[in-house]
Structure 1
Amino acid sequence: MKNFIVSFDDTQTAFSAKSDADLRRAYGLFRLISYNWLVRISPPFVNAALALHLPVKGIIRSTIFRHFCGGETIEACDGTIRSLAQFRIGTILDYSVEGKESEVDFDHGLEQTLATIRRAKGDPHIPFSVFKPSGFARFALLEKLNAGQTLSEAEQLEFTRFRKRVETICELGAANGVPIFVDAEESWIQDVVDQLVREMMMRFNKERVMIFNTLQMYRHDRIDYLRQSLEHAKVNGYKAGFKLVRGAYMEKERERAEKMGYPSPIQPDKTATDRDYDAALRLCMERIEDVAICAGTHNEASSLLLTELMQSKGLATDHPHVWFSQLYGMSDHISFNLAKAGYNVCKYVPYGPLTAVLPYLIRRAQENTSVAGQTGRELSLIIQERKRRRT
């Protein structure tokens, strides 16, 4: 079996899709993001500027939106899809409008998600579709249900509509051969999501993995949940699918646990998170014929570990049950170098109206500053490539 050595220091490959002007813009953007205080204070100023109709949309569009988003519509993402495809990288179209609470918004989000499935049908460059469960129901409803509280008759109807939306997405994905990623949520609504996704797996994952749940490994209980889930799939005769991430709500989780006086669901430190993430990769690789995984990570060590596990089992780099994924605009040194080596790679490509996607963009910027070394690593690689091109 040939060894495929991947170097994440190969900036020529990492930035092969970027022009010199693109690199300059990326450098300026990550320099701004590197100032934690600026990222913290920017949301109220941006919101106020928009409310006062100050001319900031153009600035946002040409900087953070252009770097992290594919466009405002599915059609506007076509250029990004084609560009990534040239380097063997797939696109996951992610309708990234957050914080909506009305039935009209939920139905609109459903139509957008169904549209991404229809766009992905038959297109090898769009290997998955994705949705966030809280985009289809009121957060308070899911929270109440997760806490085991009795729902009113009106709330029961709300939940029925939520369930129907999820079923409709899974049905269309299965019918069109487009696997579905279900994104993770905060711990206090995740049990409801886990149960529903398991039901969808049991229904649609008989022959191949069409439905993937997302496990946030910064939760200390997720490794045990993964073991239980793999056993449940084996006993009940279906294939399991998991997107493995470290997580996105750590500070919020800890603050809520402290405020409400219950034990934090978060790992005690990053070392524990890294340990469980890598353990999850090993667990899934042990049963890789019956489970499909997507390593949704910007962590170089975990990405290399997965390539080593694949090699040790004699798996082809493009084994259909193993994918790597990073966010569009981030960690191109991982995505492009893995793709060049023949591994299955896809990028989450957010899209949506600029002002509606802004909460997502701000959250991503804040997450970037909270991940130790992330912004610094992006900057150092950009600087390295700019120097290489000048020599």
Structure 2
Amino acid sequence: MARRLLTAFKFHSKTLNDFHHFGSRCAYQNLSICSKRNKASTAATAQPINEQEDVKDLETTPDPAFARIDTSFDDAQEAFKSKTNSELIRAYLVLQSCAVKPLVDYNKQLLAFGRKFLGKTLFEKFMKGTFYGQFVAGKDIDEIKPIAERNKSYGVKSILDYSVEMDLSREQAKDVEMDAVASVGDKGYAANDEADLANRFQGHRDFGDRRDNVMSARTYFYKDEAMCDENLQHFINGIDAVSGATNATGFAAVKLTALGRPQFLLQLSEVLARVRRYYETLASGYGTGKLQMADFERHLKSFKVGKEERQKWFTILDITGDGEIDLLDWHNLLEINLGLAKLLQIPNLKTGKLEPLVDALTDKEEEQMMNMLRRMDTIATYGKQKDVRVMIDAEQTYFQPAINRLCMEMMRKYNKDKAIIFNTYQCYLKDAHNMITLDLALSKRENFHFGAKLVRGAYLEQERDRAATLGYEDPINPSYEATTAMYEKVLTEVMQSIQERPKGDIAVMVASHNEDTVRFTLQKMQEYNIRSTDRLICFGQLLGMCDQVSFMLGQAGYSVYKYVPYGPVEEVLPYLSRRATENNTMLAKAKKERRLLRQELLRRFASLKFFYRPTPPAVSPLDAMQGKTSA
């Protein structure tokens, strides 16, 4: 995978000066490559589907999990029966502290003071009894395992996430980031051409600290290749932890910015954005939204490309063979190697000159790119060997086109038999539905399993500030309600695809603390006859938050996960700081959780259960579902 991706990325930056010398031999070679791929794809998609056998059988009996679940999520006794009294008291005090604005606003200073005043040993004990104990499972695999096993006995599985971050000041973070995104290559396109894309996909010091205004996502900064190798080992250890602590029922979370220089992600994102814009400009010019063969031939003829060669180019791009080039076909540009150098010289609409898409890479940058791709491949290979699913987290929009593309490449390679690689879709983006629709179509066309996690998004304020400052369109939906509508639209699209494709081809995680979103999902599952036992749709929330949703879903029989952070106390303080901030900003949800915690504590004390100890069910909801497809 790494070599193919590198070739696809390099061809437009190292061979762009050969436009007038490009020959039919190269076109023929690429036609052969694409034809082989088309034959395989056609063979896969041409199989007749027996709707009675391959497509999911429609269930006529009610889903017992839906009958059991209280969708008000207001049953405190059921929600917290897996918790001891001391855990409930800790949760209540921690969440109550998060409601005190001065404590949250100055949490970093207070944590620093606590470290200095109490000393390392006492400070760690204090944190384990409060914030760390509430939001982090432990420092290592041995400490994680008891929590993961107890949660699993109540129907809640784990996504393990090594949450250690570099402890940098804002200025230090900006210095590190600007070094990491700098390139010594020469720009191959005019500075004034498509300035919005040029601004969007390059580093800017004002936004160099990617932690600013970010609550729920951890941030990796690039120091050197050795640190990326250390991060790789942490992710490998996380896969081992999932395999050992959860018996391969969980996920390992991975962030691609931890695996290499972010400069590569910026450059590849810019390529993808320019390729897409070029297609949209061409297609809109012909008024159909698609390129017909005659239209495309006229376009190539204007670049003095011969008739025989024009027909070959169309055949290369029209991978469905339907006589049209749509956006999914056009994305095949980056699947084909050096032969498409001509097309990847995009005409400047102002000057009429052909210009390459991205910077040329130096030998060192090329090596760093290969290292990043190698690390990705190592994680995916190891995850498949251990039968552990790998969830690729979403990041900022200036990285996300590349992350999405690389994730789909990994799906293509590793999701042949089942979903091992999961991509993340941020529904606060205006383009969320278009993105997942294209990716679903690609997985169907090329016959691989599709895995997705749906989230609202973690970078809202940062994205809006950056877009306004740098002068490109705000990528975020205009309101909370618009994001909710987008989430529901994306989720409905996924459920329709589940209904249309063979059972097990698609698996999705609804990662949300929003009770309305969870209720919407449960209702849609009923409408589309997707049962809890199918294990095609699962739910996800953060450890220490929204337990009334997670445990009630799990205990009813739905597939549900907790995002389980781990790492040493001192090294996860940035994560804990964000948890405090997030709980303070979600006052309504936190208020309900505090009310339920208080209600359950009073109930136990009134019934003299001062030393309550959870009694796991003899047969856990997960064991009861054993043998079913796992989502």
Using the size of structure 1 for normalisation, the TM-score is 0.93
- 1:142 is matched with 265
Deviation at 1:335, TM superposition (A): 0.8
- Return 242-251 or 314-323, whichever deviates more: 314-323
- The correspondence of residues 250-269 of structure 1 with structure 2, limited to 5 A, is 250-269=460-479
Is the Cα contact below 8 Å between 1:248 and 1:367 reproduced in 2? no
Deviation at 1:375, TM superposition (A): 2.0
| The structure with more radius of gyration | 2
- 2:77 is matched with 12
Deviation readout 1:154-208 (Å, 9 max, x if unpaired): 2222221111111111111112221111111111111111110010011111221
Deviation at 1:100, TM superposition (A): 4.2
Is the Cα contact below 8 Å between 1:92 and 1:126 reproduced in 2? no
Q: Distance in 2 between matches of 1:14 and 1:125?
A: 25
- 1:309 is matched with 524
Could you say what secondary structure the match of 2:509 adopts?
Answer: strand
Task: Flag the 1:38–1:66 CA change in 2: closer, same or farther, 3 A.
Answer: same
Deviation readout 1:221-257 (Å, 9 max, x if unpaired): 1111111111121122222110001111112112212
Deviation at 1:301, TM superposition (A): 1.4
Q: Distance in 2 between matches of 1:53 and 1:141?
A: 43
- 1:2 is matched with 62
Q: CA RMSD in A?
A: 2.1
- Return 316-325 or 123-132, whichever deviates more: 123-132
- Return 143-152 or 17-26, whichever deviates more: 143-152
1:277 aligned to 487, 495, 506, which one? Answer: 487
- Return 32-41 or 61-70, whichever deviates more: 32-41
Unaligned runs of 5+ in 1: none
- 2:251 is matched with 128
Task: Flag the 1:48–1:141 CA change in 2: closer, same or farther, 3 A.
Answer: farther
- 1:85 is matched with 152
Task: Flag the 1:139–1:354 CA change in 2: closer, same or farther, 3 A.
Answer: farther
Deviation at 1:53, TM superposition (A): 7.7
- 1:248 is matched with 458
- 1:35 is matched with 100
- 2:437 is matched with 227
Identity of aligned residues (%): 33
Task: Flag the 1:50–1:189 CA change in 2: closer, same or farther, 3 A.
Answer: farther
Q: Distance in 1 between matches of 2:596 and 2:383?
A: 37
Q: Distance in 1 between matches of 2:162 and 2:265?
A: 20
Aligned residues: 391
Task: Flag the 1:286–1:154 CA change in 2: closer, same or farther, 3 A.
Answer: same
- 1:333 is matched with 548
- 1:24 is matched with 89
- Return 107-116 or 348-357, whichever deviates more: 107-116
Is the Cα contact below 8 Å between 1:89 and 1:125 reproduced in 2? no
Q: Distance in 2 between matches of 1:324 and 1:11?
A: 20
Q: Distance in 2 between matches of 1:377 and 1:257?
A: 35
Q: Distance in 1 between matches of 2:221 and 2:146?
A: 28
Task: Flag the 1:281–1:136 CA change in 2: closer, same or farther, 3 A.
Answer: same
Answer yes or no: is 1:94 the counterpart of 2:161.
Answer: yes
Q: Distance in 1 between matches of 2:574 and 2:482?
A: 30
Is the Cα contact below 8 Å between 1:90 and 1:125 reproduced in 2? no
Q: Distance in 2 between matches of 1:152 and 1:14?
A: 56
1:323 aligned to 530, 538, 549, which one? Answer: 538
Deviation at 1:144, TM superposition (A): 4.7
- Opposite residue 342 of structure 1, the aligned amino acid is G
Unaligned runs of 5+ in 2: 1-60, 166-219, 272-357, 607-631
1:161 aligned to 371, 381, 392, which one? Answer: 371
Task: Flag the 1:147–1:49 CA change in 2: closer, same or farther, 3 A.
Answer: farther
Deviation at 1:373, TM superposition (A): 2.0
Task: Flag the 1:265–1:370 CA change in 2: closer, same or farther, 3 A.
Answer: farther
Is the Cα contact below 8 Å between 1:244 and 1:294 reproduced in 2? yes
Is the Cα contact below 8 Å between 1:77 and 1:351 reproduced in 2? yes
Q: Distance in 1 between matches of 2:401 and 2:117?
A: 41
- Opposite residue 196 of structure 1, the aligned amino acid is L
Q: Distance in 1 between matches of 2:128 and 2:496?
A: 45
Deviation at 1:314, TM superposition (A): 2.9
- Opposite residue 417 of structure 2, the aligned amino acid is E
Could you say what secondary structure the match of 1:325 adopts?
Answer: strand
Q: Distance in 1 between matches of 2:380 and 2:262?
A: 21
- Opposite residue 265 of structure 2, the aligned amino acid is L
- 1:66 is matched with 133
Q: Distance in 2 between matches of 1:188 and 1:374?
A: 31
2:240 aligned to 111, 118, 122, which one? Answer: 118
Deviation at 1:377, TM superposition (A): 2.5
Is the Cα contact below 8 Å between 1:89 and 1:336 reproduced in 2? yes
Answer yes or no: is 1:193 the counterpart of 2:253.
Answer: no
